[in-house]
Amino acid sequence: MEDLARAVVWSWGVDPGRDQALLDTLAARGRPALAAVEGLLAEAVSALWDRGWTPADVVHLTTRRLTASHGDVVAEAAVADGRHRTQRGQALHPRWEAEVAALAGRASSPAALEAALLLAVEVLCLLARLPELPRTLPGPGQALGGSLRDTSRLDGRVLARVRALLAKAESTEFDQEAEALTAKAQELIARHAIDEALLVSPDDVGEPSVRRLLVDDPYADAKASLTAEVAAANRCRTVYTSDLGSVTVFGYEADLDAVELLTASLLAQATGAMARHGSRRDAAGRSRTRSFRRSFLLGFAHRIGQRLRAATDGQVSSSTAAEQGRFLPVLGAREERLRAAQEAAFPHTVQRVRSVSSTAGWVAGQAAADLAELGVSAGALRR
């Protein structure tokens, strides 16, 4: 039975007529055929962990390439894999456990045998052809080491204050207040980064870590631009992989924490501000909402990046000359490590300029990111 299932997978997309004939033969075997395919699916999911994928990565990509129902099938397999490993006493990284827990409620809906078999086969065909990815987490049972070691994280008290500021920014209906709160969060993050850099020497900066932030359609490229701007303001480097719908971020743990928090919050704020502009049509009555919204997000990303970097630079400028003499070499040494890590993982990256198809959307996005007064003193944040 497994040999027949493997034949279906490896012939998929090569000869449609033969594909269908093999699938019909497999379906005629009933429940044992589905069990065989599900067994192969479990093997395929487990094999991906050794190739740099995580549960969230696989479900995101499957949903993006196929459908939400296909994503549910993968989620169910990933949750079952995590449960079996835990029962066997195999250690899972806390972030891995969190990803599995987040997928636990996404079980696939009951389906007729033929429909369930087709879903499983299509998922298996996709997973069998996925590339290797830069590792962002230790796989199940793997020791934490190398670039994945738990370097300094964002201090708990700082993290709590940043989260509180961002929660207020997301809940307010006033754009100016939201951006002022976000600016305060960025200044607090930047000050913490400086304080942390003062504790190490340029010869002992450690190795950077890697995280993969997932971006959803619509406007995935514009959302990726926002992620890149936030990362740059927090001294991280990014690579956007458009066909996977993900941004790989290279940085040190505290900076990566900040990027994740700020990106999620700013996406929520930008989406709310964008929605308040409503739909758009041209003089002929044709919809221009999609081009407007994509351009809005690109404009928002560009301008918010400038303002976040200004907040970061302000913290550097407010430091004493003695402090700058100590932490600037550390930041420089870290940048070299980041560049090397990025080039090792992605030796053939290409820089692309994203075009803007709606000037009105670009201007509106910049305006939405440009409302707040960012003159928040570092002293007020440290009290």
Q: Average pLDDT of 340-365?
A: 69
Residue for token pair 């940043």: 162
First to last CA, the chain: 68
Phi, psi of 79 (to 5 degrees): -65, -45
What is the C-alpha separation between 133 and 346, in angstroms, rounded?
Answer: 10
Same domain, 174 and 202: yes
Q: Are residues 201 and 252 in the same domain?
A: yes
Q: What mean pLDDT is reported for the chain?
A: 85
The pLDDT value given to residue 150: 44
Domain identity same for 158 and 18: no
* Predicted TM-score (pTM) of this structure: 0.83
Q: Write down the pLDDT at residue 375.
A: 34
Answer whether residue 142 is part of any domain.
no
Whether 67 maps to a domain, the answer reads yes
Give the least confident one: 75-79, 107-111, 254-258: 107-111
Confidence (pLDDT) at 108: 67
User: Are 243 and 274 within one domain?
Assistant: yes
Dist. CA 148–CA 57, nearest whole Å = 17
Domain of 45, in residue numbers? 2-133
Tell whether 225 and 98 lie within a shared domain. Answer: no
Q: How many CA atoms lie within 13 A of 308 on its CB side?
A: 26
The packing angle between helices 2-11 and 16-27, to 10°, is 160
Closest alpha carbon to 311 in 234, 231, 224, 364: 234
Specify if 347 maps to a domain.
yes
Shared domain for 158 and 306, answered yes or no, is yes
- pLDDT exceeds cutoff 80 at 11: no
Same domain flag for 246 and 103: no
Neighbours of 328 (CB within 10 A): 15
Partners of 287 in the beta sheet? 281
141 assigned to some structural domain: no
Distance CA 336, CA 224 (A): 23
Provide the pLDDT for residue 148: 41
CB within 8 A of 79, min separation 6: which ones? 55, 100, 103, 104, 107
Q: What is the Cα–Cα distance from 280 to 298, expressed in whole angstroms?
A: 17
DSSP secondary structure letter of residue 259: H
Whether 358 shows a pLDDT value over 80: the answer reads no
**Residue 339 is encoded by which pair of tokens?**
């560049």
Residue 108 vs residue 302, higher pLDDT: 302
Q: Is 89 or 380 the better-scoring residue by pLDDT?
A: 89
pLDDT of residue 380: 32
Same domain, 20 and 161: no
* Percent of the chain residues topping a pLDDT of 70: 85
Answer whether residue 274 shows pLDDT above 90: no
| pLDDT value, residue 379 | 33
Of 13-17, 51-55, 68-72, 166-170, the poorest mean pLDDT is in: 13-17
Residue 161 lies in a domain: yes
Q: What is the spatial distance between Cα 243 and Cα 65, in angstroms, rounded to a whole number?
A: 9
Q: Are residues 203 and 233 in the same domain?
A: yes
Residues 36 and 118 in one domain: yes
Structural domain ending residue among the three candidates 99, 133, 167: 133
Residues 213, 254 within the same domain: yes
Quick check: is 144 in a domain?
no
Comparing 107 with 210, which gets the higher pLDDT? 210
| Domain annotation covers residue 146 | no
Q: Per-residue pLDDT averaged across 205-231, rounded?
A: 95
Neighbours of 268 (CB within 10 A): 15
Token look-up 């003159």 returns: 375
What order of strands is seen across the sheet that includes strand 209-214?
209-214, 246-251, 237-241
Whether 104 contacts 72, CB under 8 Å: no
Lowest mean pLDDT among 134-143, 234-243, 326-335, 353-362: 353-362
* Mean local confidence (pLDDT), 275-289: 72
Residues 129 and 182 both lie in one domain? no
Which of 75, 98, 133 lies at the terminal end of a domain, its last residue?
Answer: 133
Short-list 80, 19, 97, CA closest to 45: 80
3-state secondary structure at position 210: strand
Count of Cβ atoms closer than 10 Å to residue 39 Cβ: 13
As a 3-state breakdown, the chain gives helix, strand, coil percent values, each rounded to 5, of: 65, 5, 30
* Boundary (domain end) residue, out of 101, 133, 165: 133
Q: Is residue 18 predicted with pLDDT exceeding 80?
A: no
pLDDT > 90: percent of the chain? 58
Tally the C-alpha atoms within 13 A of residue 83's C-alpha that lie toward its C-beta: 10
pLDDT of residue 260: 95
* Average pLDDT, integer, range 296-316: 92
Mean pLDDT confidence for 143-158: 61
> How many separate domains does the chain show?
2
- Tell whether 139 is covered by a domain: no
